[in-house]
Structure 1
């Protein structure tokens, strides 16, 4: 088992990848992330105290538990299994102002665990933080889209199948009608 360092995580995410890669679905990239970081992800709970003591350490922990997990376990319930840890790390970091020590666009990774939450309070907080602490209209648009979905359904319907949840008829209509992409188009049209 090889445990990587915070700098390994940040360096890979911000230097080897481009912002276009961060949200791209690509099997080869998912394999690369899994091969390089799965062992570290498996011990993420043990790293919380040490990595969470600094802004850059927390950033690495958030990338590992909220972003890389989605790549490494795409299509599996385990992709969301460290979301709670990521939210706890985010909330602790915000109290300490760690997010403000990290420049845009990487700062968004402090807010994404809130954006990935299925609670309205976290959604509202994510939108507010991005609005106040970043100059990133596209990032804000995505935060608003996530919040819209939670406001409408109380959960992310596109997770239902992998989490073994039954979709309501309204959720199925949402999924059949373009899902997240349709929400983005609607919000862009509103301005």
Structure 2
């Protein structure tokens, strides 16, 4: 099995949809133990040869966008490869690689845009999920809209401020102390009722 296939098999089958959005120290440690070297290669400009086909691009996005969020919780390294992931995601979408990957795995081409602190990327993410994930997109669309709402309000994700050593505004502090991201999700749910 190639390293690309190994990365995809691990994330899609071993971790699977139920594990993609939960936080467990055991999973985080397993990703650190198994994939830290790959992530470091990507951080230093390596693995770019993976991005020339749909499966390779998917594996690259997992290593640069998903894995660091597990490996480095509350650490600035969680976001260190975001620019690389965004660039590859945009290129992959432009050439149609995302459409060669089934749902729900297709979402991993759009999550680097959802993780961006740029409103243009947020708008594009919402559009892509709305138009390119007809079967599995409802939950993703809700979260894409919630991320976009946070960026519209603050221009950044306040819940990253501590990890990135950024000072929080009073509005951001109130947001974090009160309802936070979950409150935005609930607002959006009630608006659609």
Range class of TM-score, shorter chain: over 0.9
Which position in structure 1 is the counterpart of 2:38? 40
Q: Deviations over 1:95-152 (max 9, x none)?
A: 1100000000000000000000001100000000000000210010000000000000
Q: Give runs of aligned pairs for residues 1-191 of structure 1, distance below 5 A.
A: 5-44=3-42, 45-48=45-48, 50-135=49-134, 136-191=137-192
**Local SS of the residue matching 1:7:** helix
- Cα contact 2:74–2:162 (8 A) shared by 1: no
**Local SS of the residue matching 1:23:** coil
Q: How many pairs align?
A: 187
Distance in 2 between the 1:87 and 1:6 partners?
Answer: 19
What is the RMSD computed on CA atoms of the aligned residues? 0.8
Name stretches of at least 5 consecutive residues in structure 2 with no aligned partner.
none
**Local SS of the residue matching 1:18:** helix
**TM-score, reference length from structure 2:** 0.95
Distance in 2 between the 1:178 and 1:38 partners?
Answer: 34
- Structure 1 runs of 4+ aligned residues shifted over 2 Å read none
**TM-score, reference length from structure 1:** 0.96
Distance in 2 between the 1:15 and 1:25 partners?
Answer: 17
Name stretches of at least 5 consecutive residues in structure 1 with no aligned partner.
none
**Local SS of the residue matching 2:92:** helix
Distance in 2 between the 1:168 and 1:57 partners?
Answer: 40
Distance in 1 between the 2:149 and 2:176 partners?
Answer: 14
